């Protein structure tokens, strides 16, 4: 058994899935690979996620040290940007492998991607 951030996990893979698992966390992280994004930029790229869900998932990722939230208050309007932390950046090879596997499955299954 492993204990991370007050949560108990039966194995190492469950730690990983506990932190990045779910429908939206990997999608958020994938969009943050290349550059920091503002909340609305993320929303535009993830049109089917609700605002509440996106906010909660970003908060969870921030609490786990995977995503950092930077608030710019120098001039109105308030600007908030999300980016990967150094720990979050260690997930990039894993995220790219997950995306590549999905691409291969789509090609093999003759699935048609919709915008």
Residue 115 in this model has a pLDDT that exceeds 70: no
Q: Do 89 and 95 meet the contact criterion of CB atoms below 8 Å apart?
A: no
Q: Do 32 and 81 meet the contact criterion of CB atoms below 8 Å apart?
A: no
Reduced to 3 states (helix: H, G, I; strand: E, B; else coil), residue 54 is helix
Q: Any idea what the CATH number is for the domain that residue 50 is in?
A: 1.10.10.10
What confidence tens digit (pLDDT) does each residue in 25-59 have? 999 999 999 999 999 999 999 989 999 999 999 99
* Structural domain harbouring 42: 2-109
Q: 10 Å Cβ neighbour count for 9?
A: 16
Residue 113 in this model has a pLDDT that exceeds 70: no
State the average pLDDT for the chain.
90
DSSP 70-98: EEE-SSSSPEEEEEE-HHHHTTHHHHHHH
Residue 78 in this model has a pLDDT that exceeds 90: no
Number of domains the chain contains: 1
pLDDT at position 4, please? 81
Residue 44 resides in a domain: yes
């Amino acid at each position: 058994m492993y204990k991370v951030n007050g949560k108990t996990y039966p194995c190492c893979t469950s730690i990983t899935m506990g932190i990045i698992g779910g429908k939206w966390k990997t999608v958020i992280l994938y969009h943050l690979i290349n550059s920091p994004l503002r909340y609305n930029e993320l929303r535009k790229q993830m049109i089917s996620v609700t605002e509440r869900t996106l906010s909660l998932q970003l908060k969870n990722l921030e609490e786990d040290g995977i995503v950092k939230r930077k608030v710019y208050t120098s001039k109105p309007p308030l600007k908030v940007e999300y980016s990967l932390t150094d720990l979050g950046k260690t997930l990039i090879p894993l995220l790219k492998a997950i995306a590549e596997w999905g691409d291969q499955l789509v090609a093999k299954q003759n699935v048609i991607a919709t915008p």
